[in-house]
Structure 1
Amino acid sequence: MPEWRKDPLVKRWVVIATERGKRPTDYRVPRDEKKGGRCPLCPGHEGDTPPEVLAFRHGGTAPDTPGWWIRVVPNKFPAVRPEAQAGVRRHGVYEVMDGLGAHEVVVESPGHIANLDAVDERQLEEVIWAWQHRSLELRRDPRLKYIQIFKNFGQTAGASLEHTHSQILATPMVPVDVEEEMEGFKNYARSVGRCILCDVVAQEVSERQRVVLETGAFVSFAPYASRFPFETWIVPREHQHDFAMIREDQVRDLARVLRSTLLRLRRVLNNPPFNMVLHTAPVNEPDTAGYHWHLEIMPRLTIMAGFELGTGFYINPTPPELAAQVLREEEAYLPPPAYAGAEREAVRYV
């Protein structure tokens, strides 16, 4: 029997089509065509991008030259720009403002590889440190209210470059989805006196029906009201509202859980396109301590159609219990990475 399930955080209803029960082999995963040609993100091509705003590089190497293992540059074709002016203007019934914000690309490896699961855990730790460093830097502009870290993998998911990279887009307003989550956290805390996501993690770990893997600091699980087949969240066990507060021990654990989760998804679903978003508390805003940051990984296996677009409800043909079981049972052995980070010096920042 199909079920309507309600997301406890944002009160969104989802149809879990249990009678369809699609397994990994039931999905036709689109294959990307290799583009070839010159890659602007590879070492030696630094002149193809705007000047770097952050690099983790070896001593004695100059900015915008080879010798880096992580590089962050402004997007060459930004959706928003930091030089734009703040302030909303009225135009009749409409409101408009200049395209203020920041849009950056995090080059996650000097090796020309496609995805984060192909790097070793130490390199993945460096990616997480770069996310944190830029998050702390961008919030110094008081006009910015939210910093969205995200990754698109595969053409279907919106990736335009093959070389593994993520993006950071800072905005002068808090996204509606995050505002809804903020309200959900506040309502639950007023009613129960606790964090809803802390309670979700506790219940998932207790029931173990939707858990993919867990460590001392993080839990990876398929959410109860999953919108998409094989949707997976990674949530810190400790209540932490701001991703930028992450500690060194958590970075190590997150790198391990994230790589293992991505590898399981790749092997189970034959390297699917996906979107990964990091939801964290707004910046330069009061009253955000009740938020609980988390990573959401959403494979692109189905297409949103008229029902979803017309109602905002989702139909998920793979119950999260089935998705978690398949991912959990996938061989835990992690193959050697395609790219193993070189020895690094203690000082990362240029």
Structure 2
Amino acid sequence: MPNTPSPTNPIATSAKLADGREIWFFDEEPTLRSVHDERPLEPRAGGSQLRWDRLTATWTAVAGHRQTRTFKPPSDECPLCPSTDGRLTEIPAESYDVVSFENRFPSLSTASVMAATGEPFVSRPGYGRCEVVCFTSDHEQSFVDLPPERVRTVIAALAHRTEQLSAMPDIAYVFCFENRGEEIGVTLQHPHGQIYAMPVLPPRIESLVNAADAHREATGECLQCEVLADEVADGSRVVAENASFVAYVPYAGRWPYEIRVVPRRHVGSLPGLTSDEMGDLAALYQECLQRMDGLDDAGPVPYIAGWQQAPTGREDTWHLAAEIFTIRRAPGRLKYLAGIESGVAFWINDIPPETAAERLRAVRV
């Protein structure tokens, strides 16, 4: 029996684009989907490679084919808008609610065929998957302005894709994220995010894993649960909360304004949330974005938002969190990474986290 559609339980329909890439439609209402991509596309690119840096013990992706990706097209040439009779886009449909599809210019791909190499210069194929998630068919909207039911649909879509991508062979981590604003480096203005299914743990996640494992080994408890309890008890950095989630500025936050959104219940990833928790997350997450935008009158803030989900196989020991931060430290002033930060990753924050939290709480939403 087909599921009853709703923002937290949308109907998911899969199809293929002209070059074989997969596309998923997430519809809030019953919609008859008959998808035909009529574009004469070249075979999809897949020439990326992972190279091992012996000095830092980390992987770097090399993907030369991405130099030809779409760069700041005018709105009437946006590849993420619905297709029309006169112009075919990446979305072969006249309208949609939420869509996720394989990136045409991926950093990682199941089609990567480069051979692995051994010592002294170690490499492996850039295996994985990169997807683009379109939050709405409306080119002029922003995530912060979406109707609440659409925010829930987006989160449900991310949960769906996380569950499926995590089940792919040799995937170690699935990272869902959104970039907003040209200052961040956004080259497509249509409201969208991305998902990377990766064959290795990215360095920051590996660092979080190591800290969590060390704490669990020493105490038998979840580090994130403990930090959340301490932040709630202290209260000075809590920005907002509801029945299921708490949003706070981290005690050692690196960015001028940085918010961490954490579930009260110990749950590893988006697919593990209940329907009520998903609704609470949608409400609090959107409120955090509204508070960011309300900090000053300089217009929408540029931000990066990412979901720190459980690495593959670690659902029981991981604690989900969303991280939102902006590089704007004041109207007309951005935080550029200085030499000490870019060079050796020693962070210096110009705004005390307690001050940031106070200013965020003061925003009327």
Normalised-by-shorter TM-score class = 0.7 to 0.9
One-letter code of the match for 1:311? V
- In structure 1, how many angstroms separate the alpha carbons of the residues matched to 2:242 and 2:315? 26
Correspondence 1:300-339 to 2 at 5 A: 300-301=327-328, 302-332=335-365
What's the CA shift string for 1:185-227, capped at 9, x where partnerless?
Answer: 1111222221111111111111110011000110111000000
Instruction: Pick one of 88, 102, 109 that aligns with 1:74.
Output: 102
Correspondence 1:128-139 to 2 at 5 A: 128-139=155-166
The two structures have a TM-score, normalised by structure 1, of 0.77
Correspondence 1:39-78 to 2 at 5 A: 39-44=78-83, 47-49=88-90, 64-78=92-106
- In structure 2, how many angstroms separate the alpha carbons of the residues matched to 1:188 and 1:140? 28
- In structure 1, how many angstroms separate the alpha carbons of the residues matched to 2:140 and 2:294? 17
Distance 1:203 1:82, change over 3 A: same
- CA shift, 1:242, in A, is 2.4
- CA shift, 1:76, in A, is 2.0
**Partner of 1:29 in structure 2?**
none
One-letter code of the match for 1:241? G
- In structure 2, how many angstroms separate the alpha carbons of the residues matched to 1:212 and 1:34? 37
Count of residues in Structure 1 that have an aligned counterpart in Structure 2? 284
Q: Secondary structure at the match of 1:275?
A: strand
**Partner of 2:246 in structure 1?**
219
**Greater Cα shift, 139-148 or 206-215:** 139-148
Q: Secondary structure at the match of 1:156?
A: coil
**Partner of 1:30 in structure 2?**
none
Q: Secondary structure at the match of 2:230?
A: helix
C-alpha contact (below 8 Å) 2:238/2:357 kept by paired residues: yes
- CA shift, 1:34, in A, is 9.9
C-alpha contact (below 8 Å) 1:211/1:220 kept by paired residues: yes
- CA shift, 1:288, in A, is 5.0
- In structure 2, how many angstroms separate the alpha carbons of the residues matched to 1:118 and 1:245? 26
Is there any run of 5+ residues in structure 1 with no aligned partner, and where? 1-32, 53-63, 333-350
- CA shift, 1:67, in A, is 3.5
Instruction: Pick one of 120, 124, 137 that aligns with 1:110.
Output: 137
- In structure 1, how many angstroms separate the alpha carbons of the residues matched to 2:73 and 2:163? 36
Instruction: Pick one of 12, 21, 37 that aligns with 2:76.
Output: 37
The two structures have a TM-score, normalised by structure 2, of 0.74
One-letter code of the match for 2:342? L
**Partner of 1:278 in structure 2?**
307
Correspondence 1:185-200 to 2 at 5 A: 185-200=212-227
- CA shift, 1:75, in A, is 1.3
- In structure 2, how many angstroms separate the alpha carbons of the residues matched to 1:257 and 1:174? 28
RMSD: 1.9
C-alpha contact (below 8 Å) 1:280/1:292 kept by paired residues: yes
**Partner of 2:274 in structure 1?**
247
% identity of equivalent residues = 30
**Partner of 2:173 in structure 1?**
146
Tell which has more relative contact order, 1 or 2 (C-alpha 8 A, sep 6+). 1
**Partner of 2:54 in structure 1?**
none
